Amino acid sequence: MSFEVANNIFTINLDGVWTTALAAILLMIGYGLRRRIRFFEVFCIPAPVIGGVLMSLIALVLHHQGDGALKFNTALQSPMMIAFFTTVGIGGSFGLLKKGGKALIVYLVFCWGLAVFQNAFGAGLAKMLGIHPALGIMAGAVSLEGGHGAAAAFGPMAEELGVAGAKVVAIAAATYGLIAGGLLGGPLAKWLIDRHNVDIKASKEEIYIQPTAQDIEEEEKLFSSFDFLKMLALVLVMMALGSFLSGKIKEWYNFSLPGYVGAMFVAVVFRNINDHFSLVKIRSKVIDLISDVSLGLFLTMAMMSLRIWELYDLAIPLIVILALQTIVLIIIGAFLLFPLLGKDYDAAVMCAGFMGHGLGATPNAVANMGAVCERYKVMSHKAFLIVPLCGAVLIDLVGLPNIVWFINYLTK
């Protein structure tokens, strides 16, 4: 840590260790506030968002006062981000597709199609409103289907390619999506059930009632430090291979593929080879732990370094884009997805989940579906299998390459 005064502005410079330590403290504060403030819990606001935004608001106050500033060294943010997306790839087993049946395929195709539509629609609206089309991508699948994780990852990428304000737009849109996704899912499901006089009964198909996790007894055992080391080594190797792959694609094709996208796809390939040949025992609890810690720290660092004042000139176009994205998503869910899923109780619950992660994140989707099932006192096992699997893992197989392509195309 160092201090300096330049142009009458007292600046605190935090090095990488201090920045990471502060991020960890803010993350813990975020968890504490979420437990104590019902609003954060109800709308599934992530703890890193709470803690990180708190610090960014302090930076905003210092900026407006004009006599103080904070500078962070977020060197560890990128490795944490790559580690998180690698764990997402490790979860991308194609064998899981067999457990969801036809409804999973329909739902997943809709999710993939929505990711492409949100980007194209957002870019078109941004151009009409006189701002850079790539900012429409930040208010499209990056922040809506992608959530804060993708927003914090792709915002800096767009800024490096010359799109000013991309990061803060993406984070602001993701925050809106979390709240809107949590507010709209339940009411949409109730409206569909009432309008179509849906029978309140869930699917009786065996694949949706039986537990889907393999080796449940084994997974419930405590893991050792050696188990953790093996999974950490696996994640680090995937990260290194992904970074190498991304560099070669840039060298050969002059196409910017972020290291975390390359790492995710290396992990997906390995996971599916491993499912067939059983090369390594994947310890899901360890992978989940690595995922939670890496996401928490990377997202907190992304949030705490936001320059909120850059959002001022973009506020009105951003509001218009997000409002129209929301209206279109409601129409898609109610008039396209619901009929294709069968117009039954499970379909209504899945539409509530669709609104949750189509605007916000998978926890929103789960919370929405839980609220609907609690309201009608019937559990939809079908929805709770399909929606989290698609929204948290499988959607990224198309969603992330789609985002990368749009950003590269619009910043040429």
pLDDT at 130 over 80: yes
- What kind and span of H or E run contains 108? helix 97-128
Amino acid at 156: P
Angle of helix 225-253 versus helix 284-304 axis, rounded to 10: 60
Give the confidence band of 308 by pLDDT, cuts at 50, 70, 90.
confident
Give me the pLDDT at residue 99, please: 62
Pair 108, 395: CB distance under 8 Å: yes
Q: What is the pLDDT confidence band of residue 257, given thresholds at 50, 70 and 90?
A: low
- A 10 A CB-CB count for 265 gives 23
Report the range of poorest mean pLDDT among 33-42, 92-101, 363-372.
Answer: 92-101
For the cut 90, the answer to whether the pLDDT of residue 310 exceeds it is: no
Q: What is the pLDDT of residues 78-103, one digit of tens each?
A: 898 888 878 877 876 776 666 667 88
Q: Return the number of other C-beta atoms located less than 10 Å from residue 312's C-beta.
A: 9
Residue 257 and residue 243: Cα distance in Å, rounded?
9
Per-residue b or e along 45-62, where b marks 16 or more CB atoms closer than 10 Å to that residue's CB: bbbbbbbbbbbbeebeeb
Binned at pLDDT 50, 70 and 90, residue 348 comes out as very high
Compute the average pLDDT of residues 145-167: 87
Is pLDDT of 138 > 80?
yes
- pTM of structure: 0.71
DSSP percent split of the chain into helix, strand, coil, nearest 5: 75, 5, 20
| Average pLDDT score, the chain | 84
Distance (Å, rounded) from C-alpha 60 to C-alpha 172?
15
Token duo for residue 395:
């959607």
Mean predicted confidence (pLDDT) in 292-306: 83
pLDDT average, residue stretch 335-347: 94
